[in-house]
Structure 1
Amino acid sequence: MRPVLGVERLRAGHAAALLAFERENRVYFAASVPDRGDAYFARFEERHGALLAEQKAGVCHFHLLVDGDGAVWGRVNLVDVADGSAELGFRVAERAAGRGVASAGVRRVCERAGSEYGLTSLRASAAVDNAGSRAVLARNGFRQVGEVELSGRPGLRFVRDLTD
């Protein structure tokens, strides 16, 4: 059963819950995406502030999937916003895997991307061996357009037109 989660824009008050999410899932994430490294955790407060500044400047839109207790279950981010487009990235907690959390979160952020942020297209990438992420993108209307290298691993490139 999928938990009931809200999608919230990143804010200063999310820092502790977001850090807990990243720490709890570090090993799980490292199995499919490059590890953030020890410096990320050691300087988390500074990094969190930098993300908020980027969001305020409009070059990124960061979102958390949170439950009623404020616990973070996932992230869906839009980065490198320019010319009506952005790069979408997402990650969900191990406890959320296979429960529709990523698909629902990506769907809701795609809706916001067009209606609230005025974007007309999104780009995304997923490792060839990351079937879960590729399925989330497919379920949300992304189509494969090419191949990429992701930290030395073969990956696929996707796009989604938000004007349809």
Structure 2
Amino acid sequence: MRHVKDVTFHLLTHEDAVELLQFERAERAWFEQHIEARPECFYTLQGVAKHIIDCLALNAQRKMHPLIIRQRGVIVGRANLRNIADDHAWVGYRIAQGAGGRGVAQSALKHLLTEARCVYGVTQLEAVVAVDNAASQRVLAKGGFTAQKRLPGYSRVSGAPRDCWIFEYSPALSHGLAANNTLY
């Protein structure tokens, strides 16, 4: 993993609303090239505030762990554990275009794996990634995830169906990788 300087992770808060809205608007075109578009109503202060309320409500129920990623104090991404139940959760992250290729996503995944295990007792993780998103696939593979199932037409990006992979992580699938990557 590349050395990532000055990257911090913190739980999403109501105080993040204005800066998060600015981040999401600035990165919208970039994100929408790779993942399904958020609804138009999200891109307002009220929309982001509702999103934060919803995420924090799920966090209070221990069903979601929504994080903001900052580098040198500026939001450069989001990382989440979601649908947390029993020993299972879904992993997701979105990194600003300008922060790509610098190890931020790998650092976020490492952080999520640690939080999953230490805070929630989760060891079975899954992530969905588009078949043409080689960068995210590399991040997941380096983190001990393996592609398990192809999902034809799973999402819609720019109005077109997009095939995706489900990547899975578990101690059994990743035996030996965790020690080499110091992730888990």
Structure 1 and Structure 2 fold alike (TM over 0.5): yes
1:128 is aligned to 2:131: yes
Cα distance in 1 for partners of 2:129, 2:139 equals 10
Gaps of 5+ in 2: 176-184
Q: Helix, strand or coil for the counterpart of 1:53?
A: helix
Q: Which residue does the alignment assign to 1:58?
A: 62
Cα distance in 2 for partners of 1:135, 1:161 equals 17
Name the % identity: 29
Any runs of at least 4 consecutive aligned residues in structure 1 with deviations exceeding 6 A, and if so which?
none
Gaps of 5+ in 1: none
Cα distance in 2 for partners of 1:12, 1:44 equals 9
Q: Which residue does the alignment assign to 1:104?
A: 107
Gap change, CA 1:3 and 1:46, over 3 Å in 2: same
Q: Which residue does the alignment assign to 1:161?
A: 170
Q: TM-score, normalised by structure 2?
A: 0.83
Q: Helix, strand or coil for the counterpart of 2:10?
A: strand
What is the Cα deviation at residue 162 of structure 1?
4.7
- My pick for the range that moved more, 31-40 or 12-21, is 12-21
Q: Which residue does the alignment assign to 2:34?
A: 32
Q: Which residue does the alignment assign to 2:20?
A: 18
* Equivalenced residues, count: 163
- My pick for the range that moved more, 125-134 or 36-45, is 36-45
Give the residue type in structure 1 aligned to 2:96: A
Gap change, CA 1:96 and 1:37, over 3 Å in 2: same
RMSD: 1.6
Query: Can you list the C-alpha shifts for 1:93-143, whole angstroms capped at 9, x where unaligned?
Result: 011011111011111111111011111211111101100111110011001
Give the residue type in structure 2 aligned to 1:155: C
Query: Can you list the C-alpha shifts for 1:13-43, whole angstroms capped at 9, x where unaligned?
Result: 2222221211110001011111113111132
Cα distance in 1 for partners of 2:122, 2:171 equals 7
Give the residue type in structure 1 aligned to 2:25: R
Q: Which residue does the alignment assign to 1:7?
A: 9
Q: Helix, strand or coil for the counterpart of 1:25?
A: helix
What is the Cα deviation at residue 74 of structure 1?
0.9
Q: Which residue does the alignment assign to 1:150?
A: 155
Q: Which residue does the alignment assign to 1:84?
A: 87
Cα distance in 2 for partners of 1:116, 1:48 equals 21
Cα distance in 1 for partners of 2:92, 2:72 equals 23
Contact 1:119 1:162 in 2 (8 A): no
Cα distance in 2 for partners of 1:47, 1:7 equals 18
Q: TM-score, normalised by structure 1?
A: 0.92
Give the residue type in structure 2 aligned to 1:89: G
What is the Cα deviation at residue 2 of structure 1?
3.8
Cα distance in 2 for partners of 1:58, 1:105 equals 19
